């Protein structure tokens, strides 16, 4: 590699020959955006977002595919480059008919992530839902009752036939109530104290919110409230039948518990002077609301018994006295929610007749429709198109009647509502006892003189409407350090609007206190379908099932003559979950991860800059796991290319030309009808959500936590990154570990994670009594096991440990069997009687990363893309990038990798084929004697036995012509970089021995990019062998006949003698009733049996069966005692992959079980008075101490026949079995 001198952004730098500008820039810390490039793929250069300017080159250069050259002068950041990138994004966005964010969130004044919290409620994660809401709205329980719900109006569910939006507010209330009720309700983190103090004037929703946000930043917030109790209009304006006071108190407590102080009965300008505030506090936030009610505004409205509606409501709250309206007639003027509160309260005060006088029609009423509906149920009468013109008094100056005119609707006014105009000669009088005016409020800034007297560097002003004059963007007032938000700034508005303003004012206040510039500049690019066209019913109706809204249970109308809360809340979690099902999930699942959105934001791209025709596609849900939404596609072709270059499936392609181009599954209508392998690699590379995981739950999207661990599905040992919300797994990505360096993973972890969310985990020990399982305690379970073991002969016990167990667990199981139970009856169903050939077949294998250097790759039976797909990707890449020749040799007519091969050879016996190859090589003296003499043992014996067999009989048995076989043998021998890959799943242990012999005869084993790769089935199949889960070998796979080894074991295990090695077959022992107790750790022989009947007969001949597993597998269901088990990432430990890489992983999330796996094994050890272990590291130390110190030479073993004793599928792992069932059944729907 030569060095290349280039000038990058004005600086001379040294690049590496062959490097792209993109890679060079990255190395030197310049981020170049790209949408079509994935380091796993060859450069494509279609998006033109990664362009840079190179001197003396025409136009812009896509940096992903422009290789650096000596003397290049590159500019990656010039204005011209930036403009070009923006234009590319503008163009892409002009045909990106998709929503980043759902209309509910877009419409919410406070920007609450509705879709996100609905998804959390769906999963029963109520506190997490509340945590999400409280990022922008600290009063969810209150808003869940009184919010005006613009979100529900915007909700697209309205477009469907049911005509009601999702019950967003009801759901919020449900979650908020659940959270408040719980002992562990949501609390935000509070930053360490900054030492700053803030005075907040007014304890209404604005003041409470400001305190909530600012206290979290570490500032001490003190609220000064003029009224006797905090809450503002929530308490004094909204009647209790809608919003109970104790609920207000509970929710306020979630704010005061952060350290916020509330001082009541203190009013600025009266018993509190700004001078004190100025001297004591670092900043002030004024959130006094709009407290002064306005009267009807007609002649005579000074009459007695004419009130402003809010005074009426407030007086009652302050005095705790209910007005006595018995037998009276009351009229409320106005059409908003305050009018509703007044009329419904009047009913509750016993009024005979309650009118609502409104000058327009019901359609124009700003009040919540539900309020209108309920008020009518309660007996309120409506006088629409009616307007009071005069209040008539009696002689005492008391209200007698009101004169009204009838109105007609004319032309629309500025608000878009039709303006009411009086009808001539329509005056009429209505006799009344009380008249309540609910037509508006005013800000009452009585402190203005006080504040201006003491303020420095500025003054506090009111605007022409009499509201506080504050910067609408930052909510700064004329006085530095004084901010104001809520109704007192905007005039009477909504709770949620006040909360929003308070949050921005808090942000400004925080900036002020921390000496930052006070700005509220935040550009986030949001793609909207509405930018393209109005959303219509027909766009959605065919896509969603009809589902009526879960209505809010209410008090019977006849039970409402009191102030008991009318709305009762959803009765249970099921109802809430069902309602979440109505959410159409309009917002994009890739909201947090989309590269297009990220760069559009970064470059301030505009969706409508180049607006024009756009493409609209149906979303393709036909594949159960992979969703294709062409609307979001930017045609970068990454999915097509990864499927071709890395997977080799070629399942996707471009269709049409020009603007009409789109990505679609090849030929067919659905991915399921193509050569798609459902690996999800397309999902992993899509920069948007055009190809995404079709999830079985509502993804939100919500922000998740992540952890990395080792995959527990197959023996490749990929590193995974799990995403979760409080233990609920939401997705898996490849993390780029020791094995899967480029982050590739296959379908098993990609889609298999959702099984782990299964609610039906075994969490406690259960014992079968009278055919039914009952819970027992762990000590009881352990005692039972002890008594079972000790009541029989040692060899009447047998222990099975599976290949999903960690090395440490496996080690402990065999140690327990050999020391506590005193038997060598320890094995796994996975390898039950499957022979020695699997013990050493991974020695000197070709490391995976050397597959890339191979020139010939032979898949010997292995359906690598199905069983060990990530290794399969390496094979495909060797083929695609380096042109390696791929040959499949199989006995299977329908081999599922054959279509990718350059050559397919069908044979009838793997064993005979390999023996014939070995026979040919030796008999023609083509063996590598130097290698054999130097590095192996047993060749002479092997070759003499082999040469006694008849070559032509072998050929006949193998079902292969002599020419073909010899061509294969010579090619394999002569092409240095030949790699033969096989899977234990298809190759019996005897054949495995013969393949090992081939590796030694040709002298390839252990050479670079040459030799054998043996693929084991399960995550820790290798560990099962290495940890001594075998009657005849101990840890390190050392024979228990080895005296030196026995001595070391005895010393380490602190015992005098190891149990005797028996030569019997455990299968025979079980079948012949010689086993009394069966202990099965993490295996599911019943569920995985090839012959279920035989397996059941074998297993349940014994007296007592104990199973430890994660789920109630068929074996667990049939057992007597079942112990809980944690998943690997809930426990920690290590796995040894099929290449003998030992990978440790830690406990990452807390399992719902009552015990840990090591805890149970320790418990067993303890019952027998044996050594226990604090943690996995202790176990590991002991394992290392017992392992053999030196490696023995690989041995030639001659086998006379094949011996295919496959009793169990899926490596006898119940979870893999479940996964396969889940996966396959998903396609049958």
- Residues in touch with another protein (CB under 8 A): 43-49, 51, 58-60, 62, 65-67, 84, 87-88, 91-92, 94-95, 610, 612-613, 634-635, 637, 653-654, 656-661
3 state DSSP class of 1049? helix
DSSP letter string, 79-94: HHHHHHHHHHHHHHHT
Complex with another protein: residue 95 or 1002, whichever CB lies closer = 95
CB 956 within 8 A of CB 908: no
For residues 531, 533, 536 and 538, what is the CA-based torsion angle, rounded to 10 degrees? -120
Q: Name which of 88 and 1197 has its Cβ closer to another protein.
A: 88
- The span from the CA of 1162 to the CA of 1164, in Å, is 5
Residues whose CB falls within 8 Å of the CB of residue 972, separated by 6 or more in sequence, listed in order: 856, 858, 917, 978, 980, 998, 1002
- Please say which residue, 611 or 1172, places its beta carbon nearer to another protein: 611
Q: DSSP of 167-208, one letter per residue?
A: -HHHHHHHHHHHHHHSTT------PPP-S-EEEEE--SHHHH
Q: Contact 33/599 with Cβ under 8 angstroms?
A: yes
Instruction: Find the shortest distance in angstroms from Cβ 617 to another protein.
Output: 15
- Measure the CA–CA gap between 335 and 438, rounded to whole angstroms: 8
* Total Cβ atoms within 10 A of residue 1024: 28
Q: Which residue's CB is nearer to another protein, number 645 or number 795?
A: 645
Q: What residue has token string 């019977």?
A: 556
Smaller CB distance to another protein: residue 474 or 685?
685
Task: State the nearest-atom distance from the C-beta of 659 to another protein, in Å.
Answer: 4
Helical H runs in 491-553?
A: 495-513, 537-540
**Backbone CA torsion sign across 419, 424, 426, 427:** positive
Give least dist CB 10 to another protein, A: 22
**Least distance in Å: CB of 91 to another protein?**
4
How many whole angstroms separate alpha carbon 1186 and alpha carbon 1178?
13
For the bound state, the minimum distance from the C-beta of residue 533 to another protein, rounded and expressed in Å, comes to: 16
Closer residue to another protein, CB minimum distance, 91 or 1226:
91
CA atoms of 629 and 1163, how far apart (whole Å): 53
- Report d(CA 346, CA 647) in Å as an integer: 72
Nearest approach, Cβ of residue 47 and another protein (Å):
6
Distance, CA of 56 to CA of 6 (rounded, Å): 13
First to last CA, the chain: 54
Q: Closest approach of Cβ 59 to another protein, in Å?
A: 4
Alpha carbon of residue 347 to chain centroid: 49
Q: Measured from the CB atom, is 515 or 658 closer to another protein?
A: 658
Number of H helices, E strands in the chain: 43, 44
| Closer by beta carbon to another protein, 652 or else 1014 | 652
CB 348 within 8 A of CB 241: yes
Shortest Å distance, C-beta 1004 to another protein: 28
How far is residue 1127's CA from residue 1110's CA, in Å, rounded to a whole number?
Answer: 7
Residue in 1145, 1139, 1141 with CA at minimum distance from that of residue 1126: 1145
Find the shortest distance in angstroms from Cβ 84 to another protein. Answer: 6
**Beta carbon of residue 64, minimum distance to another protein (angstroms, whole number):** 9
Helix, strand, coil tally for the chain in percent (to 5): 35, 20, 45
- Least separation in angstroms between residue 903's CB and another protein is 18
Compare residues 247 and 636 and give the one whose CB is closer to another protein.
636
CA distance 689 to 98: 10
In whole angstroms, what is the distance from residue 928 CA to residue 913 CA? 20
Measured from the CB atom, is 35 or 436 closer to another protein?
A: 35
Q: How far apart are CA 29 and CA 941, in angstroms?
A: 62
Residues 6+ apart with CB under 8 A from 806: 1020, 1023, 1128, 1131, 1132, 1133, 1134, 1135, 1157, 1176
In the complex with another protein, the residue whose CB is nearer, 57 or 298, is 57
Rounded Cα gap, residues 795 and 400, in angstroms = 103
CB of 841 to another protein, least distance (A): 37
Q: Which is nearer to another protein, 48 or 384 (CB)?
A: 48
The minimum distance between CB 83 and another protein, in angstroms, equals: 9
Which residue is it, tokens 């005039």?
A: 491
**Least distance (Å) from another protein to the CB of residue 610?**
5
- Provide the minimum distance between the beta carbon of 634 and another protein in the complex, in angstroms, as a whole number: 8
Structure tokens at 569: 């809340």
Which CB sits closer to another protein, 90 or 433? Answer: 90
Closest contact distance (angstroms) between CB of 799 and another protein is: 57
> At its nearest, how many Å lie between another protein and the CB of residue 613?
6
Tokens matching residue 751? 């889609």
Q: CB of 732 within 8 A of CB of 721?
A: yes
How open is the CA angle 489-493-499, to the nearest 5 degrees? Answer: 75
Closer residue to another protein, CB minimum distance, 51 or 854: 51
Q: Looking at beta carbons only, is 94 or 443 nearer to another protein?
A: 94
- Closer residue to another protein (CB): 33 or 700: 33
Tally Cβ neighbours within 10 Å of residue 165: 23
Q: Taking the complex as a whole, how short is the minimal distance between the CB of residue 50 and another protein, in angstroms?
A: 11
Q: Which is nearer to another protein, 34 or 1037 (CB)?
A: 34
| CA–CA separation, 346 and 922 (whole Å) | 106
Cα distances (Å, whole numbers) of residue 971 to 912, 946, 997, 1003, 1122:
18, 21, 17, 14, 54
Closest CA to 1089 of 1213, 987, 982: 1213
Nearer to another protein, 59 or 410 (CB): 59
């Amino acid at each position: 590699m030569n060095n290349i001198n280039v000038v990058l952004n004005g600086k001379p730098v040294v690049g590496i020959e062959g490097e792209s500008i993109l890679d060079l820039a990255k190395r030197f810390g310049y981020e170049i955006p790209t949408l079509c490039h994935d380091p796993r793929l060859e450069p494509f250069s279609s998006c033109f977002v990664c362009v840079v300017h190179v001197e003396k080159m025409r136009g812009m250069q896509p940096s992903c595919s422009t290789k650096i050259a000596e003397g290049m002068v590159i500019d990656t950041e010039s204005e011209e480059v930036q403009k070009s990138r923006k234009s590319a994004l503008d163009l892409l966005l002009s045909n990106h008919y998709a929503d980043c964010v759902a209309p509910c969130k877009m419409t919410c004044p406070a920007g609450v992530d509705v879709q996100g919290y609905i998804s959390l409620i769906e999963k029963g994660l109520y506190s997490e839902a509340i945590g999400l809401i409280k990022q922008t709205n600290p009063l969810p329980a209150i808003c869940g009752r009184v919010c005006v719900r613009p979100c529900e109006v915007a909700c697209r569910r309205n477009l469907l036939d049911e005509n009601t939006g999702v019950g967003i507010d009801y759901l919020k209330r449900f979650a908020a109530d659940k959270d408040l009720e719980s002992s562990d309700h949501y609390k935000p983190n509070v930053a360490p104290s900054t030492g700053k103090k803030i005075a907040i004037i007014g304890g209404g929703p604005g003041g409470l919110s400001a305190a909530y946000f600012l206290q979290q930043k570490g500032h001490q917030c003190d609220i000064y409230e003029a009224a006797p109790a905090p809450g503002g209009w929530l308490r004094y304006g909204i009647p209790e039948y809608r919003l109970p006071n104790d609920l207000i108190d509970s929710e306020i407590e979630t704010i005061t518990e952060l350290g916020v102080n509330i001082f009541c009965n203190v009013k600025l300008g009266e018993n509190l002077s700004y001078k004190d505030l100025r001297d004591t506090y670092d900043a002030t936030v004024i959130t006094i609301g709009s407290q002064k009610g306005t009267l009807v505004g007609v002649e005579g409205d000074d009459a007695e018994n004419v009130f402003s509606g809010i005074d009426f409501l407030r007086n009652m709250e302050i005095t705790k006295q209910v007005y006595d309206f018995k037998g009276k007639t009351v009229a409320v003027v106005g059409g908003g929610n305050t009018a509703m509160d007044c009329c419904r309260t009047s009913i509750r005060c016993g009024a005979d007749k309650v009118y609502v006088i409104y000058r327009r029609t019901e359609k124009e009423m700003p009040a919540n429709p539900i309020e209108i509906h309920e008020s009518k149920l309660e007996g309120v009468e409506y006088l629409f198109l009616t307007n009071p013109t005069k209040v008539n008094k009696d002689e005492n100056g008391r209200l007698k009647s009101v004169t009204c005119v009838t109105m007609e609707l004319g032309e629309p006014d500025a608000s878009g509502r039709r303006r009411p105009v009086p009808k001539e000669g329509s005056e009429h009088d209505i006799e009344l006892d009380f008249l309540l005016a609910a037509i508006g409020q005013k800000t009452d800034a009585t402190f203005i003189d006080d504040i201006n007297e003491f303020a420095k560097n500025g003054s506090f002003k009111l605007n022409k409407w009499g509201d506080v004059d504050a910067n609408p963007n930052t909510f700064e007032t004329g006085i530095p350090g004084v901010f104001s938000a809520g109704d007192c700034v905007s005039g009477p508005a909504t709770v949620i609007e006040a909360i929003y303003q308070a949050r921005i004012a808090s942000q400004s206040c925080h900036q002020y206190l921390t000496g930052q510039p006070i700005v509220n500049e935040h550009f986030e690019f949001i793609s909207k379908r509405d930018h393209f066209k109005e959303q219509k019913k027909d766009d959605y109706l065919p896509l969603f099932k009809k589902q009526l809204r879960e209505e809010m249970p209410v008090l019977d109308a006849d039970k409402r003559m009191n102030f008991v809360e009318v709305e009762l809340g959803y009765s249970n979690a099921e109802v809430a979950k069902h309602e979440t099902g109505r959410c159409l999930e309009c917002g994009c699942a890739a909201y947090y991860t989309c590269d297009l959105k990220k760069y559009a934001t970064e470059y301030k791209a505009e969706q409508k800059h180049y607006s024009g025709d756009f493409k609209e596609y149906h979303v393709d849900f036909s594949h159960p796991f992979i969703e294709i939404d062409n609307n979001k596609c930017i045609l970068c072709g990454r999915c097509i290319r990864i499927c071709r270059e890395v997977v080799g499936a070629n399942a996707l392609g471009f269709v049409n030309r020009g603007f009409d181009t789109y990505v679609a599954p090849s030929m067919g209508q659905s991915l399921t009808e193509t050569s798609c392998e459902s690996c999800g690699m397309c999902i992993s590379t899509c920069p948007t959500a055009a190809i995404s995981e079709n999830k079985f739950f509502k993804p939100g999207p919500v922000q998740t936590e992540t952890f990395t661990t080792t995959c527990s599905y197959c023996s490749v040992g990929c590193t995974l990154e799990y995403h979760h919300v409080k233990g609920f797994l939401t997705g898996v990505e490849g993390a780029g570990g020791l094995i899967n360096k480029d982050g590739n993973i296959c379908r098993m972890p990609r889609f298999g994670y959702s099984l782990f969310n299964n609610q039906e985990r075994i969490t406690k020990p259960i014992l079968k009594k009278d055919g039914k399982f009952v819970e027992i305690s762990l000590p009881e379970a352990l005692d039972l096991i002890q008594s079972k073991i000790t009541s029989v002969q040692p060899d009447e016990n047998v222990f099975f440990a599976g290949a999903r167990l960690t090395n440490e667990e496996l080690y402990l199981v065999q140690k327990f069997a050999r020391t506590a139970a005193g038997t060598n009856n320890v094995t796994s169903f996975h390898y039950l009687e499957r022979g020695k050939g699997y013990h050493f077949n991974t020695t000197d294998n070709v490391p995976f990363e050397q597959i890339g250097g191979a020139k010939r790759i032979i898949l010997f039976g292995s359906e690598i893309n199905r069983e060990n797909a990530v290794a399969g990707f390496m094979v495909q890449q060797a083929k695609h990038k380096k042109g390696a020749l791929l040959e499949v040799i199989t006995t299977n007519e329908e081999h599922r990798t054959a279509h990718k091969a350059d050559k397919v050879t069908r044979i009838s016996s793997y064993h005979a084929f390999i023996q014939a190859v070995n026979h040919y090589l030796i008999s023609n003296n083509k063996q590598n004697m130097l290698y054999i003499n130097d590095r192996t043992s047993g060749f002479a014996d092997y070759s003499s036995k082999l040469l006694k067999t008849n070559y032509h009989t072998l050929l006949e048995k193998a079902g292969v012509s002599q020419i073909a076989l010899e061509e294969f043998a010579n090619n394999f021998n002569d092409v240095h970089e030949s790699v033969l890959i096989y899977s234990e799943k298809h190759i019996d242990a005897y054949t495995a021995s013969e393949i090992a012999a081939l590796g030694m005869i040709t002298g390839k084993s252990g050479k670079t990019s040459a030799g054998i790769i043996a693929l084991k089935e399960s995550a820790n199949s290798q560990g099962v062998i290495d940890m001594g889960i075998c009657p005849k070998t101990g840890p390190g796979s050392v024979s228990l006949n080895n005296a030196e080894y026995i001595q070391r074991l005895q010393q380490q295990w602190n015992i005098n003698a190891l149990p005797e090695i028996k030569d019997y077959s455990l299968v025979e022992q079980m079948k012949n009733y010689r086993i009394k107790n069966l202990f099965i750790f993490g295996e599911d022989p019943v569920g995985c049996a090839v012959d279920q009947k035989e397996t059941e007969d074998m297993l349940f001949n014994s007296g007592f069966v104990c199973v430890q597993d994660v789920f109630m597998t068929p074996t667990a269901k049939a057992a007597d005692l079942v112990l809980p088990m944690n998943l690997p990432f809930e426990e920690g430990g290590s796995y040894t992959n099929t290449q003998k890489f030992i990978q440790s992983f830690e406990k990452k999330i807390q399992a719902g079980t009552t015990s840990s796996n090591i805890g149970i094994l320790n418990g067993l050890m303890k019952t027998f008075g044996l050594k226990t272990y604090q943690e996995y590291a202790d176990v590991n130390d002991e394992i290392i101490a017992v392992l053999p110190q030196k490696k023995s030479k690989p041995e030639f073993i001659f086998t006379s026949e094949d011996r295919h004793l496959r009793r169990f599928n899926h490596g006898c792992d119940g979870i893999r079995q479940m996964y396969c069932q889940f996966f396959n059944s998903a396609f049958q729907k």
